[in-house]
Amino acid sequence: MNSLDHKYVEGSPDAPVLLLLHGTGGGPDDLVPLARELSPSSALLAPAGPVSEHGAARWFRRLAEGVFDHEDVVFRANQLADFVVAARKDYGIEDRRLVAIGFSNGANIAAAVTLLRPDAVREVALFAAMSPVPSPPQHDLSGTRVFLSNGEHDPMAPLASAEALVRALRERSAEVVAHRHPGGHTVTGNGLVAAADWLGRAK
């Protein structure tokens, strides 16, 4: 197994494997309750963010609030993608559907992996995400499914940046469902319901 500390919990082979990507200062257990609401019988693959920001775990460095170190985003997205590919082989789940679930910083790294490494992740549910890289490569994302839930008054993930992410994904032929709520930087009950519906509508 390669470089990321993680937890793996087996689940039903008929349910998707959920890749859980926590927010800043979180850990592998943070999104387990959310995952169980979305898909109670799923296997869970939950790595820990490898970057420390004053002791808080993150997925990549940032220069200031909302200002990402884009070189590190690319490096860490590839690190996470390599981890996912290796973990799928090591746990014998290469043939299972895998869906990344991310919140905040975890949603941003999931978005980066989706744009940069479609070989690793083809389905993502993003809560409070923003555009992670300014000029992503022109990969053909046909067959990629993305759900995003963003607050209309989120100071940490501005709606304009979230909409730029939606545009980048759609320009590359990804199938995108954009959910909006009137709140801020959070996961809402309505967002979870919409995400569960999206998860269950896969072809």
Catalytic residues: 104, 154, 185
Backbone torsions φ then ψ of 98, nearest 5 degrees? -125, 130
Alpha-helix runs per DSSP H in 54-104: 70-90
Q: What tokens does 140 get?
A: 């053909």
Q: Any idea which residue has 């269950």 for tokens?
A: 200
**CA dist 13 → 84, 89, 180, 198 (Å):** 17, 15, 32, 19
Rounded CA-CA distance 117/81 in Å is: 7
Please say whether the beta carbons of 188 and 156 come within 8 A.
no
